[in-house]
Structure 1
Amino acid sequence: MAPTLLYLLKANGVLVLFAAAYYGLLRRLTFFGLNRAYLVLALLFAAVYPALPMPALLPAEALAPVPAAWQQAAGVRASVGTLAPSAVIDWQLVGLVVYAAGAALFVLRLLGQLLSLAWLRRTTRPATVLGQPVRLLARPAAPFSFGRAIYLSQELLTNMDELVVVLRHEQAHVRQWHTLDVLLAQVALALAWANPAAWLLRRAVLDNLEYLADRAALQTGLDRRAYQYSLLHQQPGAVPAPALAFHFSFLTLKNRILMLNQPASTTRQLGRYLLAAPLVMALALGYSGARAQAVTAVVQPATFHPNIPANALYYLDGQPSSEQAVRELPASTIYNMDIIQDEPAKIKQVFGNTTATSAIIVTTQANANLPAVLALVDKADLGSGYSHTPVQVNVLVPKALAYITQHYPDARLSGEVVEAKRKTTGAVKYHVQLVSGKRPFYVFFTPQGDFISEHR
């Protein structure tokens, strides 16, 4: 699985767990400060968790470390599925492109909202109301706050009772830096737009910040009943506040009044926080034992090819190595693995005088471009030294087709032809898959139709 896709799956999976724990255990508690910390932790942890060097909720495949698994070339034992994946649509790439396009649109939307607020600020004028610095709007609009600024319309200044309530509420948003939470939730939503949990967590962040502001306003000495009546008397006809801004809104009015009358949560209910965040983090970071072994699994050559003889040669990053060293490599570090099997003459040609009939050549990601690696790949004509591209059968010249007809009269073309281009020189050869009975095999030709070799 592509690393980026794996990252997204892990991050979105953790968001689902955090959202489920919040709505199942914490949503109705009146510990609004703890809820705020929990929600911020959820968004931040989901962003960094996939990059943590420990067992993952969705671990990478332990026994598929080779990006172009068992690439076919001269000297590598062929199999039916070796080249087939390159001929089909890469749905992982398609999914990533669609996901990235959606995220880009949401990021642009967020930037547009910020620019809209910046433009609106330029149309306001500064003033002081009841000792509080504010910015007065040039047109009628609902009161709101963003960052360190509170925005009021001229009409609101004529209603002193309502003005006091509005100012106390918006002052709480400003004083407690609630805008930072909103921006974090909006960024998380933009990057995880396809995940319903991201939408639920954003709604939870906004609601909880309103609860915090309501409680802070009441703690300044406002009457609880009068405060609720003031919320109910807010006029819905005013122009709505800009997106991202805190404002008196009917969207969450029902829940706000419900929480204003909610009995204070008991200290015993604090235990729910010991279940929520730690449980989610334990699920994400745990999975030790068998899961940890899967993530830290090492390459097992015999697992890939059970017929590899005991006297096989092992090369690591272009240098002689041992079976033990290859087995102990973490799967995540492997870039490529090539096998030369049952070709003693070629092994002697490449590696010198030896009785070995097979060789395993492993390259790590960190050393894929070392001169020694590239030299060995070219000398042994390994599959990893080529880039492979599916092409149409009609690229074969008549000379190659005549050779196939003459030497393989009982075989048929499978329709699979792959152009192999050497990475260092650009030299091209073609892999042609033939099928005799039910058994496929490969024949290699130059672009001029000259026979190179066959591999069964």
Structure 2
Amino acid sequence: MEALLLYSLKANVVLALFAAAYYALLRHLTFFKLNRAYLLFAVAFAAVYPLLPMPALLPAGAAALPLAASRGAAAGPAGPAAAPALGGWQVAGAVYLAGAAGLLLRLLGQLLSLAWVRRRAHPATVLGQAVRVVPGTGGPFSFGRTIFLTSSALADAASLPAALRHEQAHVRQGHTLDVLLLQLATALAWPNPAAWLLRRAALDNLEYLADQAALQAGTLPRRDYQYLLLRQQAGGVPAPALAFQFSFSTLKNRILMLNQPHSSARQLGRYLLAAPLVVLLALGYTGARAQTAAVAAAASAWPANALYYLDGVPSDQTAVRELKPAAIGSVDVIKDAAAVRRIFGSDTAPGVVLVTTKANAQAPAVLALTKRLNASYPTLGITKAMATIPDYTYAPTHVYVLVPKALAYITSHYPDARLSGTVTELKHKTTGEVKYQVQLIKGKRPFDVFFSPQGDFLGE
């Protein structure tokens, strides 16, 4: 559940960035096809962005460890403290899933409503176009490759050609696919206002595209086409919300865009700014959020009476909290009471949090403390198993190269083991194939597991 909510959080932040860029830079431009491409890219990128191995795309050290390395036994006073947080994740996840399920059920109901309208309509050919005629009043509408005309729309001979061209544009340009994608995206991102704003913007833009096509067909002058919009009636036939149909909520925007001067070629540069800017902000957000999470986990998951070491010397929780995330090089946690007593001489501290900044990674105090830890945990470092793989070259790397899929596998399949913090990249000398060796510790026994760069488990 926690992984689902983290995925949703990242996707929704990206949606918000895309929405902000669209409303600030692109909304009033008349490049409707480019706006359509931008909005579809926004939804697609937000969906795949949380699945990308983002920390590996950032410079080394740009993201802190997503999982605090734990040395020593997992049992201890701090163990039960995680239960309330897990319950919070579960409650939030249940609320989110309930809302998404409700909107998906509504989408199913809209599709069934459309099937009902289609069933009661009869086929006909109007001005050379195959349509389905629905008894009742209201304007024309379309869905998929089908155009629906009400009896009242069919009787309006003066407006019929332009209205038909408008619906033909929806069908010809495949706008229904956009609508379905936007409905799904809104259902899955329903708590995020940006998702609803992007959907509204995309639906309006599809109407602008259809209006533009109808005017280019030359069936009516621009002024007469606007009067046609004003004469149309909403309501009447209960057309499904998924279908393209007349709506007073979009009428004002459509008329404004019909009178909007054509955007100049110079304004195309806004597209070169909007999407790359959002992508860069998303990358920066990932790194900053991962670092902040690591600091918060180290500083708040433990009580104030835990021992804190900053750059190899005794410190406190306040000093750790005040660190800038970008300054942190590593965060280690020791929870084994025996180790705390043996190494740090404390019988009362529930654990030890060790924070090292990038600037002081080689400071004498840090090296001295590392030497003490290695004396107690001699298994740290490159294991002997590495030397038995002659076809591979290897190099130590950081825990943050592991994608969430690999970390989730470790959590679910090795619940009694801890991540030591030792990760090694193996690269085949001939094929260039890359895999990662991750050292886990169960009790005091170290062992290694292997993962692909995509997070697939390869074996022990």
TM-score, reference length from structure 1: 0.66
One-letter code aligned to 1:206:
L
Query: Offset of 1:156 from its aligned partner?
Result: 2.2
1:16 match: 16
2:431 match: none
Q: Does structure 2 conserve the Cα–Cα contact (< 8 Å) formed by 1:298 and 1:329? A: no
Aligned residues: 343
2:246 match: 248
Q: In the aligned structure 2, how far is the partner of 1:180 from the partner of 1:238?
A: 25
Taking the TM superposition and a 5 Å limit, the aligned residue runs for 1:128-139 are 128-139=125-136
Taking the TM superposition and a 5 Å limit, the aligned residue runs for 1:65-76 are 65=67, 72-73=74-75
Q: Does 1:202 align with 2:199?
A: yes
Q: Does structure 1 conserve the Cα–Cα contact (< 8 Å) formed by 2:73 and 2:444? A: no
Taking the TM superposition and a 5 Å limit, the aligned residue runs for 1:214-363 are 214-221=211-218, 222-236=220-234, 238-285=236-283, 308-315=372-379, 328=397, 330-331=399-400, 332=402, 335=410, 336-337=417-418, 359=444, 361=446
One-letter code aligned to 1:162:
S
Query: Offset of 1:166 from its aligned partner?
Result: 1.1
Bigger CA radius of gyration: 1
Cα deviations across residues 383-429 of structure 1 (Å, max 9, x unaligned)?
Answer: xxxxxxxxxxxxxxxxxxxxxxxxxxxxxxxxxxxxxxxxxxxxxxx
Cα deviations across residues 77-121 of structure 1 (Å, max 9, x unaligned)?
Answer: x4x423322366621222112111111111111111111111221
Query: Offset of 1:292 from its aligned partner?
Result: 9.4
Q: Does structure 2 conserve the Cα–Cα contact (< 8 Å) formed by 1:11 and 1:49? A: yes
Which secondary structure state, in structure 1, belongs to the residue aligned with residue 78 of structure 2? Answer: coil
Give identity over the alignment, percent: 57
1:30 match: 30
Q: Does 1:177 align with 2:174?
A: yes
1:5 match: 5
Which secondary structure state, in structure 2, belongs to the residue aligned with residue 135 of structure 1? Answer: strand
Query: Offset of 1:298 from its aligned partner?
Result: 7.3
One-letter code aligned to 1:201:
L
Query: Offset of 1:330 from its aligned partner?
Result: 1.8
TM-score, reference length from structure 2: 0.65
- Which blocks of at least 5 consecutive residues in structure 1 are unaligned? 340-357, 374-456
In terms of mean alpha carbon deviation, does 168-177 or 150-159 score higher? Answer: 150-159
More helix by share: 2
Q: Does structure 1 conserve the Cα–Cα contact (< 8 Å) formed by 2:138 and 2:234? A: no
2:146 match: 149
Cα deviations across residues 276-319 of structure 1 (Å, max 9, x unaligned)?
Answer: 11110122235799899989977867895658533234558xx8
1:105 match: 102
1:213 match: 210
One-letter code aligned to 1:125:
H
1:115 match: 112
Q: Does structure 2 conserve the Cα–Cα contact (< 8 Å) formed by 1:149 and 1:174? A: yes
Q: 1:287 to 1:6 in 2, by over 3 A?
A: closer
RMSD: 3.8
Which secondary structure state, in structure 2, belongs to the residue aligned with residue 243 of structure 1? Answer: coil
Q: Does structure 2 conserve the Cα–Cα contact (< 8 Å) formed by 1:182 and 1:206? A: yes
Q: Does structure 2 conserve the Cα–Cα contact (< 8 Å) formed by 1:11 and 1:46? A: yes
Q: In the aligned structure 2, how far is the partner of 1:288 from the partner of 1:100?
A: 24
Q: In the aligned structure 2, how far is the partner of 1:326 from the partner of 1:337?
A: 21
Q: Does structure 1 conserve the Cα–Cα contact (< 8 Å) formed by 2:74 and 2:418? A: no
